Structure 1
Amino acid sequence: MSESKNRLRVVFCWHMHQPYYKGPEHSDYHLPWVYLHGIKDYADMAAHLEHNPKSKAVVNFAPVLLEQIDDYAGQIKAWLEFGTLIRDPLLAALAGPGLPVDQDSRKELVSACLRANERRLIHRFKHYSRLADLASKVLEEDTLIPYLNDHFMVDLLVWYHLAWVGECVRLNDIRIRSLQSKGYGYDISDRRRLVELIGEELTRVTDRYRKLAENGQVELSVTPYAHPIVPLLMDIESTKEAMPYAEMPELKSYPGGEARARWHVRKGVDVFKKHFGFSPAGCWPSEGAVSEVTLKLLEEEGFLWAATGQQVLHNSLSVSNEGDHMPENWVHTPYRVREGGLNMFFRDDGLSDLIGFTYGDWHADDAVGDLINHLENIANACGDNPNAVVSIIMDGENAWEYYPHNGSYFLNAMYDRLSNHPRFELTTFSESLAQQTKPSPRLPKLVAGSWVYGTFSTWIGDHDKNRAWDMLGDAKVAYDQAVADGDFSAQQMEELERQLAICEGSDWFWWFGDYNPSGTVSDFESLFRRQLSHLYELLGINEPAYLGEVFTKGSGDPALGGVMKKSD
């Protein structure tokens, strides 16, 4: 037996996803997270793999994220070459040359420049910290806002973006070092240099990951186009497989759900192929949401593997009468479901949550040492399982804001020590399947669920989430009737299908509910209603009156602002 076969296979799967933040048609981006994560996390995560050539990972991209990155890169190019207005208020303010003059717009801009982790991004830089402290005091008293002159606004904008620059860019780009050294008094040429850098980094994102894939370091995978909860589109009653007493919306089934699910999968693959030049072998279904009919659809569409959360496997083994005698390493084995050929990988919730929620407060060497200790224990337990794979699956962008230096110390140490460890093999899902000495075992039943708690409770079952499903269902009924009765051109149908897809995304439902922060709930609630309204407009139908009314408000303070959830 080769040395490689004696090693425990470890797969890091980084899911890169941002919702569709742009308003209907050619309106502005409502939130800047695509380009900010682009210059920070998408850039850094590629760089750490490039700097550790023996390391490997799976990187999953949501298609709507790829499209938005492209859009930002194109807008910045048009601004640099022709002065075309950038359709993002924050980035446009940085680019200049002008700034908003009315008090409300200035207040919004100042508030936007404080949306960053205080400990890791704001207080790290003394100039930014001073500006932020002053800005916070001014926001407490609206009458002080007129005293914020253009010099203050420009310096705050520049420092906000400097703080969001990825660590690898920060260390290696002389423009960033020069701007940081200057400290204050930034002028229009400084602003232009910073926008140029942002455009360059966004333009490079997909090329860097494509090259990593070509070099065999990365396996690229995809999510259905607009990140919908596919099992709920196909059968909303699948909610009850893991939540038998869930409160359900009035909507009994999503009209034409299977066709819509297949559209999202095919459209997602098309966008993926446009950016990377090949078809992906694997799929991280949106939110790891799976059901038996979802897996059947993915297999029919040509996928070889998919992945979900640990609790889904636990629930499935339990109802299969195997829960009372599950082996110690039950989560570290890929499975096939019933007679299907698609292989399912299951997230190690404990290890994934340690990286997402705990190690950011540890010294990097201690954190990696702890991770290695856990993996060594797993290797001991999996000694008689030739198919053993540890699947560490998590958000590839939001955790690092809570680490020193954007997680650089941790990620570099982790890749270096694990790729050189004699007992581990960093690999990908497809490579691990190719190395199997026997087929994956079969599950007699899969209980529908997601990576969060093994249920769909994050997206349905709450009063406000259910209301959103009913609103979406109304829009789909209107869509089907209008398309059946109308005479839309091919171009109009393409626009209609895409607009419907945006409305079907999972992120709307994620944020609805009282337990989320009120500001974020308001952002997503208003944008959801606008997207539905625009769908009715494209159909030539008067929108329902309820779309003019706020239907959900938040008041919670969840971990990490709600962008990530612990698995239990």
Structure 2
Amino acid sequence: MAYPLHIAFVWHQHQPLYKSCRTGQYLLPWVRLHGTKDYLDLILVLAKYPRLKQTVNLVPSLILQIEDYVNGVALDPYLTAALTPVEQLTDQQRWFIIEHFFDAHHRTMIDPHPRYRELYEQRQTEGAVWCWQHWHPQDYGDLLAWHNLAWIDPFYWQEEEVSQWLAQGRNFSLSDRQRIISKQRDILRQIVPQHRALQEAGQIEVTTTPYTHPILPLLVDTDAAKVAVPQITLPQHRFQYPHDVSRHLRRSRVLYEHYFGCAPRGLWPSEQSVSPAILPAIIEQGFEWICSDEAVLGWTTGTYFHRNEAGVVQEAAVLYQPYRLTTSSGDLNIIFRDHRLSDLIGFTYSAISPETAAADLIQQLEGIRQHLLAYEGTGGTALEQPWLVTIALDGENCWEYYPRDGLPFLETLYQLLSDHPHLQCVSVAEYLQTHPPRAVLAGESLHSGSWIDGNFCTWIGDPVKNKAWDYLAAARQALEHHPDATEQANPAAWEALLAAEGSDWFWWFGEGHSSNHDAMFDQLFREHLIALYEALGEPVPEYLNEPLEVHEAKDTYPPQGFIHPQIDGRGDEQDWNFAGRIHIGGNRGTMHRQTLINRLWYGVDHLNIYMRLDAPAQKQPFGTEIGTVHFCWYYPNVVTYNSRLSLKEYPDEPPLNYLYHHQLVIDIERQCIEFSEAIANDQWQPRITHARYALETCLEVAIPWADLHLKPDCGLHLLVILAQHGYYLDHFPTEQLLFLRTP
């Protein structure tokens, strides 16, 4: 029998519990704003392409918060400010508005709107204090309106009321803002009913997640983190409460049945985190399938997934099929997502044109299909087996980086998929019903890990994360000492506990991730625990009144996500928000000259390596003191030619005396880029490059991965050197090379 290549898109819609269990107040607005911009339009766009079927995961904590906004019982500080007459704004509110009402990607959500852009540029160029001193009440009124208008998805821009607001542009009144908020509420009101309607129509499958999005394996036993990282440092107190897993799953199933009128079939384990210990509870609650990441499959089967230069997995037959997990409690189906394809949509395609991005994804899928045809070896043009490619990712956060919130990309992609004779989009449950898994895995052999590197280090192991786990363990033990405090007798205590067990707090604690709201996440976590003690009538530990960590800007930190900066030499703060940063200071370099560069930024996406060099304030050494900037790298796991640096008078010490394989030189005076590759006999040979740079307030550089001819997941070491007239001046980092990996 001939089959198309089946594709399962799984969109994960999630927000943590921003509602304080202690006060009942919402501290952050993201449920309301993402609800206006991201959840409803995603399925309404899909409905225009009836041939396509997909899966959407709605987290219970998200649904409950949406309902609070719909019912008018949720009020966050942003919403309070928007509904306050500008003449009555307090000084605290005015500062809050100046600081936080530009919380949006400015290139796609602020710049397209002239009045919003005008206010943003004033804040950027003149500073917050200037705005405080010079803004009039109408400036605040317009900013309050535009922050909410910008979060209304372009899908609704043609509606009469929305188009009138966009055309009005300025001079918004309180009544205008009230109507904008009412429009947000109208959109929120449709989210759950429309998902139910499309599921009943057969175009989508709606799945669920454990109640407050916890890392289930760590609730069973925090020692699960040792499976992937045996040397990990764990909290002082081992957390072992497997019954909490059943509570999260039972609550998510009951809530799902209430809103959708049927039992859920699929479960998205929070952060795609799985372990053998959680499988019995999932089976007991009647779930038929779960989803995880290719890294977990690789660890489980002992497979390392190699990709060619086009990004196509060479072990396609292992990845692109579902598996049946066998346990003593019964069987459970599991699918594993293609990590790279998911990341391309989530992090990279926003940086290129919608048409190019959509065509590239189709090309990637066609490459997979051709590889599977070759694997089957029949010589036919149609597949003999029903292979399944799973693309599973966050369905909300990526779109603000796309033009028009991803609408042109999705419409182009969906049309190409609809027209393609050999690609078929399916919901996961539909596919599994027709094509049960052919491959079997013993449940006890399932690797304990998540979608991030196949481990749990994002949520445990860091000193601050471990402290939070110890706080949680102490609170959980306090609840254990109150056997009368059952879920029925003391629901407030259990709601607080389950909220504190959510994964999101641990994501932001310590090293690894940071946002403008770290202190708020810290506060929310502690407020959930405080609410638990108060519900039990127990004294609140004094330590819960203090933040877990000092929340201040750090000078040096590693990359926190993919970046796609515009290479214009201006160093836009949002463009480099997730980049790694190295602060450089003090006297160093040849002849102890004062450092010419005070900050180095670096990051990647699937297209380029990005570098940015900042000079000290009021100083522009490029072209005067710095003549050339050299980017030198070698590959630790590739046997190839390497050559010495082509510079004069550089110190004979690491890492300058290492040999390098590629060298990119930006000649500031000649305004050109030269790229060379090491060859035999310690020589360098010129190569063609498509690297770009721009120099204005800083030096920004984009170096295409394609120039390096590397396969995905290849590691490289990178050194940046400053020179003048061929003579060495300085280098960064000073003691060890930057390590990057091709996505």
Q: Same fold (TM over 0.5)?
A: yes
User: Distance in 2 between the 1:183 and 1:70 partners?
Assistant: 31
Match in the other structure for 1:17: 14
**Per-residue deviation at 1:9?**
0.6
Letter in 1 for 2:519: S
CA contact (8 A) 1:229 1:506 kept: yes
- 5 Å-filtered alignment, 1:81-480, equals 87-97=75-85, 101-136=89-124, 139-141=127-129, 144-171=131-158, 173-254=159-240, 257-318=241-302, 327-339=315-327, 340-383=330-373, 384=376, 386-436=385-435, 439-443=438-442, 445-480=445-480
Root mean square deviation, CA, Å: 2.4
By how many angstroms is 1:336 displaced? 2.1
Q: Which residue of 2 aligns with 1:528?
A: 525
Instruction: Kindly indicate whether the alpha-carbon contact (under 8 Å) linking 1:329 and 1:378 is maintained by their aligned counterparts in 2.
Output: no
Larger radius of gyration: 2
Alpha-carbon distance between aligned partners in 1 of 2:246 and 2:345, rounded to the nearest angstrom: 33
Check 1:438–1:124 CA distance in 2 against 1; reply closer, same or farther (3 A cut): closer
CA distance in 1, matches of 2:525, 2:434: 45
8 Å Cα contact 2:333-2:437 kept in structure 1: no
Q: Does 1:546 align with 2:547?
A: no
Unaligned runs of 5+ in 2: 307-312, 377-383, 563-576, 580-603, 606-712, 714-742
Counterpart code for 2:433: A
Partner of 2:629: none
Query: In structure 1, what residue type is equivalent to 2:355?
Result: D
The TM-score with structure 2 as length reference comes to 0.70
The answer to which of 334-343 and 185-194 deviates more is 334-343
Alignment-mate amino acid for residue 140 of structure 2: M
The answer for the alignment partner of 2:690 in structure 1 is none
Residue 316 of structure 1 contacts residue 443 of structure 1 at CA under 8 Å; is this kept in 2?
no
For residues 221 and 489 of structure 1, what CA distance do their matches in structure 2 show?
Answer: 28
**Aligned-residue offset at 1:253:** 2.9
CA contact (8 A) 2:148 2:181 kept: no
User: Secondary structure of the residue that 1:382 maps to in structure 2?
Assistant: helix
Q: Who is 2:597 aligned against?
A: none
How many angstroms does 1:492 deviate by? 4.8
Match of 1:81 in 2: none
Indicate if the aligned counterparts of 1:307 and 1:345 stay in contact, CA closer than 8 A.
yes
Shift of 1:296: 2.4
Change (3 A) 1:562 1:100: farther
Q: Distance in 2 between matches of 1:381 and 1:10?
A: 15
Distance 1:404 1:43, change over 3 A: same
Q: Is the 8 A contact 2:98 2:131 kept in 1?
A: no
Q: Is the Cα contact below 8 Å between 1:35 and 1:202 reproduced in 2?
A: yes
Judged with a 3 Å threshold, the aligned counterparts in structure 2 of structure 1 residues 373 and 490 are, in CA distance, closer, same or farther, namely closer
Identical counterparts, % of pairs: 34
Look up the match of 2:683. none
CA change 1:61–1:357 in 2 (3 A) is same
CA distance in structure 1 between the aligned counterparts of 2:64 and 2:436, rounded to whole angstroms:
39
Residue 188 of structure 1, CA deviation: 2.5
Larger helix share, 1 or 2: 1
Segments of 5+ residues of structure 1 without an aligned counterpart are 77-85
TM-score normalised to structure 1 length: 0.91
Cα distance change, pair 327–130 in 1 and its aligned pair in 2 (3 A): closer
1:335 maps to a residue whose letter is Y
1:28 is aligned to 2:12: no
1:442 offset after TM fit, Å? Answer: 2.5
1:335 shift after superposition: 1.2
Q: By how many angstroms is 1:29 displaced?
A: 1.2
Cross-structure match for 2:560: 558
Could you tell me whether the CA contact under 8 Å between 2:321 and 2:437 is conserved in 1? no
